[in-house]
Amino acid sequence: MMHHVSIRTANIHRSLAFYEKLGFTVKERFTTGYTLACWMEGLGGRVELIQIPEPKPAPEMWSDEHYVGYYHISFDLSEITTDLPAWLNTFKADFDHDLQVLLEPTQQMIGDHVYEVAFIADPDGLPLELLRLMQ
């Protein structure tokens, strides 16, 4: 069982607000010895946010077809919504057009199932996949 996914952020307070709107709640606040951190739970998983005191931009993994490494975190919204485009529009409204949508909702066949799939970026530009099982 995976315990958590760790995300390094330039501004933990901005990231906390973003992930709370996505459906996560803070379970534990702590320091890593030199910076702020927390565990958040939601959408069937746990993320750890760690604030980086002197951040550098993340690699451009979304548009660099040669990038190798972790690519995105995927969240299954099947139990939360029956309409991913409508859910995303409501989610976007909370950000006053400040949310970066990397891929608008589209249908995709994965194995024997059809999913609605969209990609957004978190406040530090990390790609997040949102998917909903259609059939």
Regarding whether 89 and 45 lie in a shared domain, the answer is no
Is 62 part of any domain? Answer: no
Tell me the C-alpha distance between 81 and 7, whole Å: 25
Number of domains in the chain: 2
| CATH number of the domain that residue 21 is part of | 3.10.180.10
> Mind listing the pLDDT tens digit of every residue in the chain (135 residues)?
889 999 999 999 999 999 999 999 999 999 988 899 999 999 999 999 999 999 988 778 888 888 888 889 999 999 999 999 999 999 999 887 789 999 999 999 999 999 999 999 999 999 999 999 998
Query: How far is the C-alpha of 10 from the C-alpha of 53, rounded, in Å?
Result: 7
Q: In the beta sheet, which residues pair with residue 29?
A: 38
The tokens for 36 are: 């702020």
Residue with the two structure tokens 């957004």: 120
Q: Model-level pTM?
A: 0.91
